[in-house]
Amino acid sequence: MNSQEQDRIKTLLREALPPIEDSAGPARDLWPGLLRRMDAQPAAHSGWLWFDCALAVGLVAMIAVFPASIPVILYYL
């Protein structure tokens, strides 16, 4: 795809979906909803940390065993 084709598709995109105006803001106060969320689910998600670590270890192990998978992983990153 050459630069002219790129410019044409960019123009089409901008005409189909104009940019959001800078003045856009939420229609309601979101703080009460956030407080409800915090009350419902207290912080300290230590389980996620373990999950993250397990995922990272699994990924490293997969790369070590199947080095050919590196391009596939990079593609999906």
Partner 1 sequence: MNDGSIAVLDASEVLRQFQAGSIDAFEELFRLHQRAVYGWILRIVRNTAAAEDLTVETFWRIHCARARFDPARGFMPWARRIATHAALDYLRAQRPEVELPPEDAAALTAPPAGDSAVSAEIRLEVTRALGRLPPRLRVAAVLAVIEEEPYKEIADALGVSVTAVKVRVFRALRILRKDLESRGITP
Interface with partner 1 (CB under 8 A)? 1, 5-6, 8-22, 24-28, 30-31, 33-34, 37-38, 41, 43-45, 77
| Closest distance of CB 5 from partner 1, Å | 6
Cβ-Cβ contacts under 8 Å for 62 (sequence gap 6 or more): 69
CB of 64 to partner 1, least distance (A): 24
Residue of 52, 53, 75, 71 whose CA lies nearest to 63: 71
Q: Which is nearer to partner 1, 44 or 64 (CB)?
A: 44
Q: Amino acid identity of 20?
A: I
Name the minimum Å distance from CB 57 to partner 1.
19
List of residues 6+ apart from 59 with CB closer than 8 A:
73
